[in-house]
Amino acid sequence: MLLFDYREEDRRAVMSWNDGDVLFAWLGIAKNMALGVSKESRGEGGCAVSLPWWTFLSLRPQILDLIEGFGLESGKDFRITEAATSLLSEARLRADGYGDAVEAKSLDEDELLSKLKAVGFARKMTPQQTRNVRVIGALPAGATFSVPGAGKTTEALATFGCRAEPGDRLLVVAPKNAFAAWDEQLSECFPQWTETFVRLRKSDKIPGQLRSDPRFMIIGYQQLARVRNIVAEHLASRRVHVFLDESHRIKGRENISTDAVLGFSHLPVSKLVMSGTPMPQSASDLVPQFNFLFPEIAVDEYNVISLVKPIYVRTNKTELGLPPVTRIRKTLPMDPLQARLYDLMKSEIAREATQALGLKSKQAFRKLGRSVTRILQFVSNPALLAREMAFAHSEELASALAEGRGPKLRYVVKRARELAREGKKVLIWTTFVENVEYLAASLQDLGAVFIHGGVDAGDESDDDTREGKIRLFHDDDSVMVMVANPAAAGEGISLHTVCHHAIYLDRNFNAAQYLQSEDRIHRIGLAPGQETIIEIIECEASVDETVRHRLEFKVGQMAAVLEDSGLNIAPVPMDTDEEDEELGAGGIDEGDIKALLASLGGAA
C-alpha cells in the first residue's frame, strides 16, 4: 500500500510503500516523480521517499493522474494519513482562493474602509492604494508590485488589518535597510497600537524572542536561512501572516533564502509579496515568488506570467503624476593604451563565454562572472586591476595606468564640479567600492559623503553611519555630493527633496538595482514640474554598451508583463564635442552571456 504522510518536525511529505508493492508498475513512476521534482527530495531506506511539503503540493495533479490512471483504490492501494489530509484540505482552500482571484472578486470599498477604521487604521490611503488593497485584501495570497514611493508598505499593513483576526501575528521578511521603514509605517498606520516590530537579528537570541510571542516580527533574508526551522516551528503553532518585502530577492532553487522561504510556504495564514521590480532578469524570477504564494499550483517560466496576472496589483509612476526622467548618455573614447589592453581582455572573455554557454554549469558561470566583473572594473577605472598581482597583462596594465584612471572617472569628477558650481547637489553611482571611496576623496572639497556595504547603519547624529551621511547630504549646504553603490544604497533611501541629478560612472547587468537606484531621486513627493536628470557614462565600443542593451531589454520585458509603459530606460545620446560587497557582473544570466559574446566578436 502506498502511504502519503506529513512529517511535522521537518515539514516534509513522506511517501512510503510495502515490499510487495515493487511488483506494481505504478510504484516506479511514483518514485521517479517524487525524486525528480526537487533537489531536496531524497530516498529514506529502501521503501520511502521524502520531499519538501510545498514541492509535494505542486505534484498533486500528477499524483491524482497516477491514481486515476492505474485505478488505485483508497484504503486498498493507497492511504493518506490524517496529518496529510488536513494540510491537503487547507491547500485545496488556498487553491480555491486563487480561483476567486481569477474571477476578479474584490472587497467592497466602504466595507474595507469601515473594517480598517474598526481596527485602528488611521492613515488616509490614496485612491490607488485603496484600489490595490480591495484586490489583495480579498485573497489568501497576493502581490503588490507598485513602484517605490507608491506606498507598498501602507498597502501591506492595510492588507494585514483587513485580513487579520484578533490575535493574529505578522512576520515580515525584508532587507535590513528596510527595517526602520516598517517601524515608521506601523506607528503611522496604527497609532493606537503599542506593539512594535521585534527585530530577529541574532541567531542565539531569536528562540527567546519567539517564545515571547510578539505580534509583529521582522527578519532579514540571510538570517532567515540560518534559523529556518525555528521560524517554521513558530509559524506551525500560531496564526501568522507572512509578507516578503523586496520579494525578487528570492531567486532560483540554488538560493538558500529561497529554500528557507518556500520550506514554510504552506504554514502562514495569509501571504503577500512586495517588489517594485519583480522580474529583474526574466519571467523566471516570478516563479519562486508565485511558489511561495501558491505552492499548490504547478508553475514554470512559461505559465507564470498568466498565473500571476490575477493576483498582483501595481501603481505606476504615471498614476503618481511624476514627470518622466530625462536620461542622457555620455559616450567617451578610451585612452589609447586602455583600449589596447581592453582588446586583449576581450578575446579571453569571449573564450570563457563560449565555454560557459557550452557547459552551462554553475562553476563556469561564476568564473565568467568574475571575468566580466574585471572588465567592467577596467573600463570604469583601470587602476582597479592593479591589486591583482597575477593579472595576465601586468606590463600592459602598468602602461595603461600611466595614462591615469581613465576617461570616465575624469569626466565624472569634472561634471560633479560643474553641477556644484550651479548650486546642484549630485548623486554618483558606481558598482565598485574602490570607485566609491576614490570619488568621495577626490571631491572632498565639495563635502562628498559615501555609502557602500562597509558603512554601518546607526544613529543619524553620527556622521560616520549610513543615516548620518544621508542627513548630511540632506541638510548640510556644504555637502554637494553623495557617492554610493546600488547594492548598498539602492533601497531604503529617499533623496528626491534635495537632489535631482544623478551620474552613473558604471552599471552592471542587475536591472533591479539600477531601477531602484534611479528611484532614490525620482519618487512621490517631487515638487511639481521638477526635472530629474540621469547621466549615464559609457566608454565607446565597450562592455558598457552591452550592459545598456541588456538593461533596456530586461526592463522592457518587465514593462510588458506589468503593463507599465512608463518603464523605459533608454537614454538619449549627449553631444560628445566637449573636452576631455558586490558582484560587478550583477547576476549575469545566459541572455547576458550571449549578448556579451556577440559584442566581443564571438559567435552568439
- Worst-scoring range by mean pLDDT, 159-163, 210-214, 432-436, 570-574? 570-574
Residue 582 has what pLDDT? 38
Task: Give the single-character DSSP code of 398.
Answer: H
| Residue 392 DSSP SS3 | coil
For residue 449, give the nearest of 464, 462, 459 by alpha carbon: 464
Residue 604 has what pLDDT? 44
Dist CA 344 CA 395 (whole Å): 12
The arrangement of strands across the sheet holding 326-332 comes to 449-451, 481-484, 426-429, 501-504, 533-539, 326-332, 572-573
Residue 585 has what pLDDT? 47
Average pLDDT over residues 143-164: 93
CATH no., domain 93-315 = 3.40.50.10810
Per CATH, which fold does 326-599 belong to?
Rossmann fold (3.40.50)
Residue 367 has what pLDDT? 80
Cα within 13 Å of Cα(84), Cβ side:
19
pLDDT over 60 (residue 407): yes
Task: Tell me the backbone φ, ψ of residue 350, rounded to 5 degrees.
Answer: -60, -40
Angle at which helices 25-36 and 60-69 pack, to 10 degrees? Answer: 170
Band (282; pLDDT cuts 50, 70, 90): confident
Band (357; pLDDT cuts 50, 70, 90): confident
- Worst-scoring range by mean pLDDT, 78-92, 298-312, 334-348, 525-539? 334-348
Q: What is the pLDDT of residues 432-447, one digit of tens each?
A: 999 999 999 999 999 9
pLDDT over 60 (residue 389): no
Domain residue extents for the chain: 2-80, 93-315, 326-599
pLDDT over 70 (residue 587): no
Average pLDDT over residues 515-544: 91
Domain pair 93-315 / 326-599, same fold:
yes
Instruction: Indicate the pairing of strand 42-43 with strand 48-52.
Output: antiparallel
448 and 461 Cβ atoms separated by less than 8 Å: no
pLDDT over 60 (residue 390): no
Residue 224 has what pLDDT? 94
The position carrying cell 532587507 is 175
462 and 389 Cβ atoms separated by less than 8 Å: no
Instruction: Name which residue leads in pLDDT, 346 or 67.
Output: 67
Q: What percent of the chain has pLDDT over 70?
A: 93
Element (H, E) at 244: strand 240-245
Let me know if 389 is exposed, middle or buried by CB neighbors in 10 A (0-12, 13-18, 19+).
exposed
Residue 259 has what pLDDT? 86
pLDDT over 70 (residue 326): yes
For residue 145, give the nearest of 279, 44, 242 by alpha carbon: 279
Backbone dihedral region for residue 454 (phi beyond 0: left; psi -120 to 50: alpha; all else: beta): alpha
Q: What is the dihedral of CA 94, 99, 103, 104, to 10 degrees?
A: 30
Instruction: Name which residue leads in pLDDT, 315 or 385.
Output: 315
Task: Give the torsion sign (CA, 244, 249, 252, 255).
Answer: negative
pLDDT over 60 (residue 429): yes
Q: How many CB atoms lie within 10 A of CB 392?
A: 10
Dist CA 444 CA 519 (whole Å): 25
